[in-house]
Amino acid sequence: MELYRGSNANQMDYNDDGRGPKSGKMFANNDDRLDSGLDSLKEEEFTDVETQFCRMSVAEDEPWRKVLTEDGDTYLHLAVIHEAKEAALKIINLSYGAPFLNIQNNQRQTALHLAVITDQPLIVEQLLKAGCDATLVDDHGNTALHIACRKGSLACFGLLTHGCRQQLPAILQTPNYNGQKCIHVVAIQGYLSLLESLIQLGAEIDAQEQCNGRTALHLAVDLQNFELVKLLISKGADVHSFTYGGHTPYHLTYGRANTEIQKVLYELTAPHLRELPDSESEDSDEDYEEQCISGDDDDDDNIYDDIKMMGQA
């Protein structure tokens, strides 16, 4: 991941009362941001900021707790973003159980989201122990577990699923703003071991994504992933589940190249459910596949771009 890309950041300029930067900004505007503070400081500029982190004291009313960048990032966000482990751990230790840990920046990312994005399992573990809320979602509706599932981060996945047992059932039922629960994200990425783990942890194998009503098995057929199809069937996925358009997984094999998938589903699908619905073809499903599978999950840039919901940004 490219964490830094051309910044015009300036040194911090504090007000005399110590409440933070003058004019409410810590850094100058940067029009080429990748994502929140991921582009907020150049490597060499961050050295001075990290030194300030390490001088922090334990007082509850310390000004650094209230400092926000123009992108809503706290010192903790910045320490995680720049992988300043020592500074991040100190801030976490000074903030056990404090609401500060759950501050969301302008893209509604907590430090936990960013720790998963930057693949820092130690920080993820310490944030969870300190009381960071794993149910919070970013401005794409993704929990930290959604991100771990998309990235295929085994370490972060394990920490998130075992470090917040009480919250896990709610997290597994949470759809992002593409209508996808964690099981759909894993299916789209084709991570067999993570999908199996999610099922063992209680994820609903036949959960429907909210855009089109597809289950993980429908998605596996769409992606022509035979190994995923076999795994889902072996775990009890319903071959007779319908999309909102009335299509079973077998219907989605029409016109697809993988005859092995078609053969397996043909044999498992009830004869009266093998014919395509008369009402319409797969066009709407294929439009969905192109929009929600191919486009939004390719890389970190896409998943953190602005989106529109209900006609509003």
> What would the two tokens of residue 243 be?
């999309």
Q: Which positions ≥6 away from 163 have C-beta within 8 Å?
A: 124, 125, 128, 129, 134
| DSSP letter (8 states) at residue 3 | -
Please state, in angstroms and rounded to a whole number, the distance separating the CA atoms of residues 151 and 157: 9
Domain annotation for the chain: domains and CATH numbers: 1-122 (1.25.40), 207-296 (1.25.40.20)
| DSSP letter (8 states) at residue 180 | -
> What would the two tokens of residue 24 be?
């409410």
Note the pTM of the prediction, 2 decimals: 0.76
Tens of pLDDT along the chain (313 residues) come to: 332 222 333 323 323 333 333 333 333 333 333 355 455 555 555 555 666 665 655 455 567 888 899 999 999 999 999 999 999 999 999 999 999 999 999 999 999 999 999 999 999 999 999 999 999 999 999 999 999 999 999 999 999 999 989 999 999 999 999 999 999 999 999 999 999 999 999 999 999 999 999 999 999 999 999 999 999 999 999 999 999 999 999 999 999 999 999 999 999 999 999 998 875 544 445 554 555 554 454 444 443 343 333 344 4
Taking CA atoms, 286 is separated from 212, 241, 255, 282, in Å, by 10, 17, 11, 6
* Contact between 132 and 112 (Cβ < 8 Å): yes
Tell me the β-bridge partners of 14.
21
